[in-house]
Amino acid sequence: MSESCKVSSERRGDVAILWTDGYINNQGGEEIAREAYAQLDSGVRALVLNLEKTRIVNSIGISILIEVLEKVMDKKGVLAFCGLTPTIDKTFRIMGLAQYAEIYPTQEDAVRSVTAHPA
Amino acid sequence: MSQGGSAPPGLKSAGSREVSMTIPVAPEMEIVATAQAAALGEYIAMTRDKIDEVKLALVEACINAFEHADCRDEQLHLTFRLGGEKGREWLEVEVLDKGKGFDSTAVEEPSLEKTFQTHRKRGWGLQIIKSLMDEVDISSGKTGTRILMRKYK
- State pLDDT tens for residues A65-111: 999 999 999 999 999 999 999 999 999 998 888 889 999 999 999 99
- Find out whether A40 and A9 touch, Cβ atoms under 8 Å: no
Query: Is residue A106 in a domain?
Result: yes
Which chain A residues have a beta carbon less than 8 Å from that of B30?
A: 58
Query: Is residue A56 in a domain?
Result: yes
Query: Is residue A25 in a domain?
Result: yes
Domain boundaries, position A50: 6-114
Residues in Cβ contact with B151 at an 8 Å cutoff, skipping those fewer than 6 apart = B41, B46, B50, B53, B54, B57, B90, B91, B92, B132, B133, B134
Query: Would you write out chain B's pLDDT as a tens digit for each of its 153 residues?
Result: 333 344 444 455 555 699 999 999 998 999 999 999 999 999 999 999 999 999 999 999 999 999 888 888 999 999 999 999 888 999 999 999 999 888 877 777 787 777 776 766 667 899 999 999 999 999 999 999 999 999 999
ipTM: 0.88
Residue B130: closest C-alpha in chain A: A94
Query: Is residue A1 in a domain?
Result: no
Residue B124: closest C-alpha in chain A: A59
C-alpha dihedral (B113, B114, B119, B122), degrees to nearest 10: -100
**CATH number 3.40.718.10 is the correct assignment for the domain at B17-152:** no
Is B125 in Cβ contact with A67 (below 8 Å)? Answer: no
Residue spans of the domains in chain B: they are: 17-152
Look at the pTM and tell me if it is higher than 0.80: yes
Closest by CA position to B25, among listed B80, B68, B57: B68
- In one-letter notation, the amino acid at residue B70 is D
Q: Which helix (H) or strand (E) holds B114?
A: helix B112-117
